[in-house]
């Protein structure tokens, strides 16, 4: 506590006084309210306080400090690498179905030598088998994955048949890794 002169009457008053007891005027050097100085935040806390979103959609959020994929959070500092992986569909069974249909088709052609009705029936069956095999083969899709590697291993965090979507997510995670480490 310091003693200061009143700005109105000049009497000596306490620096902590709200007003002069003689004239009621505020003190000459009114004490400023004490400032609360927050301690310095660690680097990670400062980074989270300034978190920048690089990519956001209903399933994925990539920020400057973390990656959230379908509710699972990956800390950016724990990710060692990210890449797109591809899983091609298994075409073995549809291909075997088409080959089997071709064999039945050949048998249908041989059946025409004995009986036209039997040959026609076998021909319809062969066409159905081949047609189903081709439809099955065309319905198979290639899947693309966001593979996130960390010290605990690699995991396919996200899968989609949309290559450009997966590529955009991988690019944004890579950008976050490069910019914010």
Q: Which residues contact 21 (CB under 8 A, 6 or more apart)?
A: 13
| Residue range 121-167, pLDDT digits in tens | 889 999 999 999 999 999 999 999 999 998 888 989 999 999 999 99
Q: Which tokens hold the place of 7? A: 């700005």
Residue 20 near residue 9, CB atoms below 8 Å: yes
pLDDT at 26 over 90: no
| Residue range 1-17, pLDDT digits in tens | 677 877 777 788 877 77
CA pair distance 91, 140, nearest whole angstrom = 8
Positive or negative, the Cα torsion across 126, 132, 135, 138? negative
CA pair distance 50, 40, nearest whole angstrom = 14
What confidence score (pLDDT) does residue 94 get? 95
Domain locations in the chain?
1-37, 43-89+142-179, 92-139
Averaged pLDDT score across all residues of the chain: 84
CATH for 43-89+142-179 (2.30.29, 2.40.128, 2.40.50, 2.60.40): 2.30.29
């Amino acid at each position: 506590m310091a003693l200061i002169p009143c700005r109105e009457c000049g009497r000596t008053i306490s620096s902590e006084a709200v007003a002069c007891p003689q004239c009621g005027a505020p003190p000459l050097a009114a004490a400023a309210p004490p400032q609360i100085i927050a301690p310095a935040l660690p680097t990670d806390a400062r980074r989270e306080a300034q978190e920048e979103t690089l990519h956001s959609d209903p399933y994925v959020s990539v920020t400057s400090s973390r990656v959230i994929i379908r509710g699972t959070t990956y800390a950016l500092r724990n990710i060692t690498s990210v890449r797109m992986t591809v899983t091609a569909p298994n075409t073995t069974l549809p291909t075997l179905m088409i080959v089997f249909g071709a064999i039945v088709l050949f048998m249908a052609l041989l059946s025409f030598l004995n009986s036209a009705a039997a040959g026609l029936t076998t021909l319809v069956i062969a066409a159905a088998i081949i047609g189903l095999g081709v439809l099955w083969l065309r319905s198979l899709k290639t899947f693309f994955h966001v593979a996130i590697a960390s010290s605990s291993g690699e995991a396919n965090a996200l899968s989609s048949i949309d290559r450009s979507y997966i590529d955009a997510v991988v690019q944004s995670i890579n950008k976050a890794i490069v910019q914010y480490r």
